[in-house]
A and B are shown apart, each in its own frame.
Chain A
Amino acid sequence: MKLRLSIQLPQLIVLAFLIVMMGLAFHLHISLTFLISDALIRLVMNGILVLSLVPMLNAGIGINYGLPVAITAGLLGLCLAVNFRITGLLGFSAALLFAVPLAAIFGYGYARILNWVKGREEITAIFIGFSFVPLMNFFWAVAPFSNPAMLWPIGGKGLRPTIGLRDYFSKELNTIWDFHLFGLTVPVGLLLFFALCCLAVWIFFKTRTGIAMIALGENEAYAKLAGLNISHLRILAVILSTVLGAIGICVYAQSYGFIELYDAPQMMAFPAASAILLGGSAGKRTTLLHVVLGTFLFQTTYLISGPIANEILVPEVAEIFRMMITNGIILYALMHEGKMKRGGYAAY
């Protein structure tokens, strides 16, 4: 196994920024233990959503800007678990159990559309996401859910925009085996769950199908000559991405403590895309290291810049940096895609 991580310009800039921020935080007496505990939670909250981009990237379909489709499947699973009043870890597992088959079905439909528009998947995916969200808005407003804790407080029908998970399975995963060390909270269960998801993806890319998928991503003409069923592999990659995305939002929601419906999923693909690009994904071959490094750098930058900017009384600067990083990284990746294509660095 070759493990090479070539640090590119964006990682360098963000890493330098992060180090300066850490130093500033220390200087301003902002509690670093709070920051590090939150950084660990943020890594996993967003990490699985970022991980869900990997199968589609590796199959050469591009970045899954249609992440809202996967998120919606996950939200449906979460809503079903709350509707049946399943609580605790069981409730979280039930949400996953409901979400996964739904995600597979959604993923299949989504994959069929992407196969139609081969070559223009990314822009199509953006619009699939944008049109799917309003469609689901209609669904949420009329869906026949019956748990009164989920319904609109004035109208009495349809789902509320935010559903509290306090009485169901809020922070269930965050608190398994968590321990405190020098004021630092280490969410072991949460980190293990993330590791497990990463392991599953790693194992998948070791199987015949996984290797075939990577081959397809690297050179489609060659894969075709080798007799691989391209359309079938592409559908499988999209389904996998969608299922992972659905699991990702379940983890996100239990950690956040609320299910967010309606327009909330609309923009969620962009931070995930920025994170994986920041991690160094070249668009053809994406590794787990890209996922972890990208998510960590991206989310921690957000996390630290807020309190520091407030402390030194320039809150707008944090906002400008946030926007620059989110959009700038995507722009950088698009500009250098061609150049970076050759640098295949597999960590599988």
Chain B
Amino acid sequence: MSRTIRPMILAALLTLFWISGGFAETPDYKIGMVTPTLSASEDEFRGAVLVANKYPGMIKHLVLPDNYSEEQETAITQILSLGDDPQIKAIVICAGYSGILPAIEKIKKKRPEMIVITAPIWDDPDMMVKYIDLSLDTDWVQRGITIPTKAKDMGAKTFIHYSFPTHMAKEVLAKRRDKMKETCAKIGVTFVEISTPDPTTGGGRSPMLQFLQEDIPRQISKYGKDTAIFGTNCPMQDVIIAKALELKFIMPEQCCPTPTQGFPAAMGLEITEKDAGNFAKINEQIKAKAAATGTTGRLSTWPVAVGYFFPEFAARLAMLKLDGKLPSFELAAIEPVAREVAGVDVRFSPMKPGLSNYFLIIMDSIIY
């Protein structure tokens, strides 16, 4: 009897020792990361996967429903489930959707010590600063000045803004449009606003893309080649860039500035598995294709995907804070971390004067 029990006790002790050893190696907390699905937005999804691979066992990656606008309740339940896990000490949400704040509010009421970083979500800013420890976003409104200015530098005489009612009902996007209009008037560029079929209603994105296919040649024949075209919706970029290669107009920046949006499909970029995610290589390829199609100097974007940068940056900040290495989310504290993660300079500015937990970023441009 004892002969069988002894090895069993030994095995049990060994297992216990192994388990406790295993726990001692990784910190005792986890970070919940929330992103859209791969097909909805590759950048954020891959950004979160990158973080999960870098810090194995520390990241719980949740994916929001593909059809977010119709399944908001599912999204809220998913995010709330993170608050129920005692091991999770911080939540990073990189989704670019509105309607997520109620979930954060509930979690914060239940667990006030939970660190929540959003990069970005689009809810009411005044409410966001109340409940979210650090809100990050691209400087959408400021881009209303930078994009037309860049377009003018690239030679634009006319600036066309394609959007649809659902987008123009969003405060930041409408504000950016107004800024663009203002800036265009200031620098002497004709501003043209065109509404496309709404992709969020009924027929999906096909009617919108079909409209763009037919309308862009019409506008270029009316305003000429020195026209900059800007679309506010991600799927639009494939068509806009493809048409830019054909009609040689100016594409100053996409809605989400990154070399990985629009360019790969429109230019048929062949990105091997080895080069995937290597932005320097992707930029080189775009430059070569632009030269081959005679569009050098007509296309521009930011050199690194913001959506890919945000998840890692936000997760790093959360970890540093939990490890006690970051006293606060003040600008002076987070700026060096941004430079380290992005590899290029990132400019921050507070969302409103005086705010110390809602920052907007702008990166430098690359003109192909």
Contact = CB atoms under 8 A, between A and B. Distances in A.
A101 interface: no
Contacts of B206: 260, 264, 267-268, 271
A163 B265 contact: yes
* Most chain A beta carbons < 10 A, residue from B217, B265, B277: B265
Given A164-B238, A264-B206, A316-B195, A157 B273 contact: yes
B282 interface: yes
Contacts of B270: 147-149
B311 to A, nearest CB: 12
A263 B205 CA distance: 10
Contact of A258 (B203, B238, B259): B238
Contacts of A218: none
A270 B202 contact: yes
Contacts of A258: 238-239, 242, 265
Interface of B: 37-39, 42-43, 46, 49, 66-67, 164-165, 194-198, 201-207, 209-211, 213-215, 217-218, 221, 235, 238-239, 242, 245, 259-260, 264-277, 282, 305, 308
A257 to B, nearest CB: 6
A115 interface: no
15 contacts: A38-B214, A148-B269, A149-B269, A153-B259, A156-B275, A166-B266, A256-B209, A261-B39, A264-B205, A266-B204, A306-B196, A309-B195, A322-B197, A322-B203, A327-B202
Given A148-B269, A158-B38, A306-B211, 19 more contacts: A34-B218, A140-B39, A149-B268, A152-B42, A152-B46, A152-B276, A153-B260, A154-B43, A157-B273, A160-B264, A166-B245, A166-B266, A166-B267, A257-B242, A267-B204, A267-B206, A302-B197, A318-B195, A319-B165
Contacts of A6: none
A193 B305 CA distance: 42
A310 B265 contact: no
Nearest to A31: B218
B271 A151 contact: yes
Nearest to A30: B218
A303 interface: yes
Given A263-B204, A267-B203, A326-B203, A310 B195 contact: yes
Contacts of A162: 235, 238, 265
B273 A302 contact: no
A296 to B, nearest CB: 15
Contact of B203 (A137, A167, A270, A306): A270
A163 B270 CA distance: 11
Nearest to B201: A323
Interface in A158-180: 158, 160-164, 166-168
Contact of A256 (B49, B210, B272): B210
Most B CB contacts (10 A, CB to CB) among A161, A303, A326 go to A161
A106 to B, nearest CB: 21
B202 A326 contact: yes
B282 A315 contact: no
A119 interface: no
A110 interface: no
Interface residues of A, number: 55
Interface of A: 30-31, 34, 38, 42, 134, 137, 140-141, 147-149, 151-158, 160-164, 166-168, 256-258, 260-264, 266-268, 270-271, 302-303, 306-307, 309-310, 315-316, 318-319, 322-323, 326-327
Contacts of A270: 202-203
A261 B42 CA distance: 14
A289 B268 CA distance: 39
Contact of B267 (A157, A164, A261): A164
B66 A263 contact: yes
Contact of A137 (B39, B198, B205, B264): B39
A153 B196 CA distance: 28
B197 A153 contact: no
B242 A302 contact: no
A267 B37 CA distance: 19
Nearest to A326: B202
B39 A262 contact: yes
A300 to B, nearest CB: 12
A148 B285 CA distance: 13
Contacts of B49: 155
Q: Which of A158, A168, A256: most chain B CB closer than 10 A?
A: A256
A319 B275 CA distance: 42
